[in-house]
Structure 1
């Protein structure tokens, strides 16, 4: 028996005896075995496919406790409760815990009484927490909802961007990154951000065939700019979906709209309320509990609602405003139909929604600000030999702490500084401060271009006359043999029958090279166009005739 076979046997035994899992789902055994043998692992699997078991089973085979980074306190509570139900000891450390409770949690880990510790990334930025964790010698580092490294890190949860420093400070135990949603660029960013070493990547099942896909175009969106007409049509779309019955979620772009659409649904006799990140924690928890227990028919929410909400019988998810990417859209519509019964995902589309999203991606940091911050970091390194901290940099530059954090993240990507949990340290480099600042600015431009390409793919999804499911799956790098038959384009006959494979070069998954955009991979090939995911320029659509006539792409070895 090989070492791999032996590891699989131990995993299967632990899964069966400790968790009652007599049969594992596709992808689980590969991921569990990789972690049990010390390999970093990225698992992208749909909700309900057993992602939690992927780390829970090997955790029992590795000597030392397991640290689980989880974004929400409510989600941590659910995970702790689930493990205790299985008679596995688990504790959590978060802002709600008293000093005594925190100390008791760490003592339980040191004494071997608890195997699992759950915490938010912000807790790991505290030096006292990191020292306590070092003493426990974790054997497994888990990042749950790992897409937050990409989706939230730049704007909302900067501590996700420093998890790599925490992992290294703990001696780089095997890393498990788990998420239900990650397109190829997000997967690459997760691996890079977490400093994962040659990770095993398991990607399974983006298709949710029980969710019917539909787009409603705001009336007059292409003919007029009359906002009243567009808003009326969006409200009609929301109302129509809600009248279909069952529990639903309506996503909107602004806090003001949460109240407006909740009032609309209430006027239809539905029990509806709004939800957004500006509400108090108590009010947010009240709404979440009412939704989960069936006291509400619908919640109208910004994107702040949904993570950790695992309600099986959501019958519809409506977007009154188009989100800025298919990544966000797929994450949010995936909260429908988790019981496997038919559900609907309706997008009320107005191109102006995406113009606003594009506007918010326009900012690129000033090279002067980057240079000022880097100069201060280098000066502090010369004087103290230990670097400086973000608070001192903010005070010296007059920039906000959030702005300084954003600049430092870019400088770290450029290899000019190293961010630990305590300090900012310069990295010895031959390049000058202006050269390093310009490199960091270039990286910011690349990120902006990728974000804009995601917005463009959201527009293409909304405006396509082809099968929406085929389009959506191809975005995530998954093939589908033909039209689904259950999206609005298929039902109305616009998508047509199954297209025969088009012969010729640049087939799906072919590696290509472009003179300006560099290397990439063909993710979709239509009779008249190619969709290519470039490594640094994001998603681009190219007219196939132009590609062939002007020889602007060449295939490269995969």
Structure 2
């Protein structure tokens, strides 16, 4: 909180360059803490005049917007403090005082309200910018009662809305299939992914993340959670207390982690697609064969399409390993796959559904997609680069921190970092695709003001310049501003990047400054590299001729990725990449299915020869790829070309649509929220899934505020996927009737019966809150309690078994459920009437057994 900002900061200013000890218990905003940190470096290369001026401005506006009045601060006049012109450049008034200092007050400023820059909407624009300074946590009116398993796993009493509730339920109900979960950022996707692991005592969950920084950040969070579990007497989630399998680990630590995966004692592990399909593959397969691979989670699953078809092909080869593991696992212990993303358009959903289908089971979809309500959108077009530079520098100086400035290229990011430092900023860093792990970690610690181990530290960065490689899974909830000194190549990239601000639910600002050459760069980046028909066909035939056939299948082959096509004498290090691109394109076309190579010992060899062969295999495995031919009809050249051409057309159409959507948004032709919502509507499984529009402010809505969709869109209520294996512990008692009545004598303790149901696979219960809590304490099975206040009760919407307890009569919703033929057990008193046959008891008209008999039969 910012209640003590002005008093605390003024005391520091009065004693500067000496810095007083910070008052214990002072309630300070993040901006004030950053200003105090910056003061310590003022006069040194650590802090520039623009750093201190921009932060003082933010503290003043935070106080004014939150508490009212006309706050001011009195600052020194001498260098290295800003001079009068410099204060004016950050939109602060500076008045000389009698003691030779300056009284500083902040003035409102906003980017242009619309691209017309005609003054219409300017007042609304200023209000929308001011909202980003308000120091008040958002209030949520969409909280819903937590299920017993959610409380047991995480200690939370509520869910953040129906989308999170249904996503969490789908995750723990998943019984060996793949589920796509579209859930907005800030709705607890991590907790959803952890639930299954935390509610069981055995089993491994592998979480695939796109960046090393994210893996290390998730490791830190998991270490905190594991320590809390140990304090409650629960076992640790790793025998090594390590959770990130990354390249910087010592070989011995990697080996120990692989052994823990094999043994099933590594309950959670974060890794990359590249590590999953190479050095971790054998351990994952053995874990699966032993029935210990519980779950594979793909975080930021939209990247399977966006990155997997281009520069990180392992995103699309890893489904082969997951499929191998699924097939190798015992029938009763198949792993579940959870595909998580906040931004799923049609093409990524189609690719995920195609690549992650397991066995004969289609991929399910839990659609909780919502438009972000935090950002206010601003756009500005520039005819020359100098004008764009002026706009960006102006915005960096005047908009709230923490702030991200995005560019499209590494060279632009490096140039902007230099330009910002020359303008007076010292507290600026950069992260691009060239940044190493140590550099990324250092920038994040200096920006967040805490170490990887959550130890508080001084901030030394307020602004980070980055390319699209920066920010995935960013654990920085209070970013206030995202600037773009570029035109992103798709609306997906733009929306993901502005979503890195406002993760705390508070308003944020998104300002895109477009320059004269941006469209050309965007189109270039938008054009996904795909091999042509003739070269692709030659490459494929060479791969097939170079492949070795699996001994147990005439349709499965293994090939070195580095195989050269006939038209090349040397690959220059790029041939392997084009080979994999060709094969992933073929997999999307349904011609082949990618697999991950496994070592198969020759039973006729001696133990030493087998070990030698195994060592040779693992030396070469990163250059190997397995594939399985699916459709022989597509092996004819023309059919092959037609199939690949169709996929290329789909990719280019999707990319073109994503760029055109961004252009529609950036040129102010339509409400930004409506454009985004339309882009994130998909068709799947015969249905259409919509995203409701929301808009805090954009050029169109500032001109016509009455037509704005506002910031309270209708919240989706996703349906739960139908279970593929329905638990039915009393199948022999109910016969052909999907309904079974279980008689409970008055005063009987139903706890043991409910516990037995849960132990035999039942998870969905319509019982009292107290009974549900007791049941969860008695069993490890995740217990889901039907919430009668929900807009989609389990009784009405879940097609799996629901155990219902009633004491008076059958509700209409229960009667309709029974009429639909959905599997239902009702527990009630012996004299419960049959509502369909007045004057008759349910025990006499339907299948019925006593509670004691039910216990005995289970």
User: Normalized against structure 2, the TM-score is what?
Assistant: 0.52
Structure 1 residue 89 and structure 2 residue 237: aligned? Answer: yes
Q: 1:368 aligns with which of 529, 534, 538?
A: 534
TM-align CA RMSD: 2.7
Q: 1:13 aligns with which of 148, 163, 166?
A: 148
Q: 1:387 aligns with which of 557, 568, 578?
A: 557
Q: 1:131 aligns with which of 282, 295, 304?
A: 282
User: Does the C-alpha gap of structure 1 residues 350 and 256 become closer, same or farther in structure 2, counting only changes over 3 Å?
Assistant: same
Alignment map for 1:469-484 (pairs within 5 Å): 469-477=673-681, 478=690, 480=692, 484=695
Q: 1:288 is matched with which residue?
A: 444
Q: 1:450 is matched with which residue?
A: 654
Q: 2:251 is matched with which residue?
A: 99
Q: 1:339 is matched with which residue?
A: 504
For 2:312 and 2:495, locate their aligned partners in 1 and report how far apart those are by CA, in whole Å: 21
Q: 1:160 aligns with which of 315, 320, 323?
A: 315
Q: CA deviation at 1:327?
A: 0.6
- Return structure 1 stretches of 4+ with deviation > 4 angstroms: 380-386, 478-481
Q: 2:671 is matched with which residue?
A: 467
Q: 2:775 is matched with which residue?
A: none
For 2:379 and 2:154, locate their aligned partners in 1 and report how far apart those are by CA, in whole Å: 42
Point out the structure with max Rg over C-alpha.
2
Q: CA deviation at 1:110?
A: 4.0
For 1:368 and 1:335, locate their aligned partners in 2 and report how far apart those are by CA, in whole Å: 42
The C-alpha deviation readout for 1:379-433, integer Å capped at 9, x for no partner, is 3468775523243523656351111111111122223333211234451503413
Q: Residue 587 of structure 2 contacts residue 593 of structure 2 at CA under 8 Å; is this kept in 1?
A: yes
Q: 2:752 is matched with which residue?
A: none
For 2:194 and 2:297, locate their aligned partners in 1 and report how far apart those are by CA, in whole Å: 10
Q: CA deviation at 1:47?
A: 2.0
User: Does the C-alpha gap of structure 1 residues 278 and 453 become closer, same or farther in structure 2, counting only changes over 3 Å?
Assistant: same
For 2:206 and 2:695, locate their aligned partners in 1 and report how far apart those are by CA, in whole Å: 41
For 2:695 and 2:186, locate their aligned partners in 1 and report how far apart those are by CA, in whole Å: 22
The C-alpha deviation readout for 1:429-486, integer Å capped at 9, x for no partner, is 03413421332133113211221121111111111333222222222235557x8462
User: Does the C-alpha gap of structure 1 residues 389 and 50 become closer, same or farther in structure 2, counting only changes over 3 Å?
Assistant: same
Q: CA deviation at 1:326?
A: 0.9
User: Does the C-alpha gap of structure 1 residues 263 and 373 become closer, same or farther in structure 2, counting only changes over 3 Å?
Assistant: closer
Q: 1:410 aligns with which of 574, 578, 585?
A: 585
Q: Residue 470 of structure 1 contacts residue 479 of structure 1 at CA under 8 Å; is this kept in 2?
A: no
User: Gapped runs of 5+ residues in structure 1?
Assistant: 1-10, 221-228, 501-558
Q: 1:47 aligns with which of 185, 200, 222?
A: 185
The C-alpha deviation readout for 1:234-263, integer Å capped at 9, x for no partner, is 441343244223220000122222233223
For 2:212 and 2:562, locate their aligned partners in 1 and report how far apart those are by CA, in whole Å: 30
User: Gapped runs of 5+ residues in structure 2?
Assistant: 1-145, 227-235, 328-334, 450-458, 598-624, 682-689, 710-858
The C-alpha deviation readout for 1:308-343, integer Å capped at 9, x for no partner, is 322122111011101011111010000112222222
Structure 1 residue 217 and structure 2 residue 356: aligned? Answer: no
Q: 3-state SS of the aligned residue for 1:202? A: strand
Q: 1:260 is matched with which residue?
A: 415
Q: CA deviation at 1:61?
A: 4.3
User: Does the C-alpha gap of structure 1 residues 433 and 379 become closer, same or farther in structure 2, counting only changes over 3 Å?
Assistant: farther
The C-alpha deviation readout for 1:85-123, integer Å capped at 9, x for no partner, is 222514332212223212222333344433112211101
Structure 1 residue 244 and structure 2 residue 453: aligned? Answer: no
Q: 3-state SS of the aligned residue for 2:593? A: strand
Q: 2:218 is matched with which residue?
A: 79
User: Does the C-alpha gap of structure 1 residues 230 and 123 become closer, same or farther in structure 2, counting only changes over 3 Å?
Assistant: same
Q: 2:268 is matched with which residue?
A: 116
Structure 1 residue 207 and structure 2 residue 371: aligned? Answer: yes
For 1:237 and 1:94, locate their aligned partners in 2 and report how far apart those are by CA, in whole Å: 36
Moved more, 346-355 or 442-451: 346-355
Q: 2:351 is matched with which residue?
A: 189
For 1:417 and 1:480, locate their aligned partners in 2 and report how far apart those are by CA, in whole Å: 38
User: Does the C-alpha gap of structure 1 residues 450 and 479 become closer, same or farther in structure 2, counting only changes over 3 Å?
Assistant: closer
For 1:295 and 1:321, locate their aligned partners in 2 and report how far apart those are by CA, in whole Å: 26
Structure 1 residue 497 and structure 2 residue 663: aligned? Answer: no
User: Does the C-alpha gap of structure 1 residues 115 and 479 become closer, same or farther in structure 2, counting only changes over 3 Å?
Assistant: closer
Structure 1 residue 440 and structure 2 residue 579: aligned? Answer: no
Q: Residue 242 of structure 1 contacts residue 248 of structure 1 at CA under 8 Å; is this kept in 2?
A: no
Q: CA deviation at 1:268?
A: 4.1
Q: Residue 365 of structure 1 contacts residue 441 of structure 1 at CA under 8 Å; is this kept in 2?
A: no
Structure 1 residue 303 and structure 2 residue 476: aligned? Answer: no
Q: Residue 212 of structure 1 contacts residue 343 of structure 1 at CA under 8 Å; is this kept in 2?
A: yes
Q: Residue 51 of structure 1 contacts residue 178 of structure 1 at CA under 8 Å; is this kept in 2?
A: yes
User: Does the C-alpha gap of structure 1 residues 114 and 306 become closer, same or farther in structure 2, counting only changes over 3 Å?
Assistant: same
Q: 2:714 is matched with which residue?
A: none
User: Does the C-alpha gap of structure 1 residues 489 and 119 become closer, same or farther in structure 2, counting only changes over 3 Å?
Assistant: same
Q: 2:208 is matched with which residue?
A: 69
Structure 1 residue 145 and structure 2 residue 304: aligned? Answer: no
For 2:263 and 2:532, locate their aligned partners in 1 and report how far apart those are by CA, in whole Å: 50
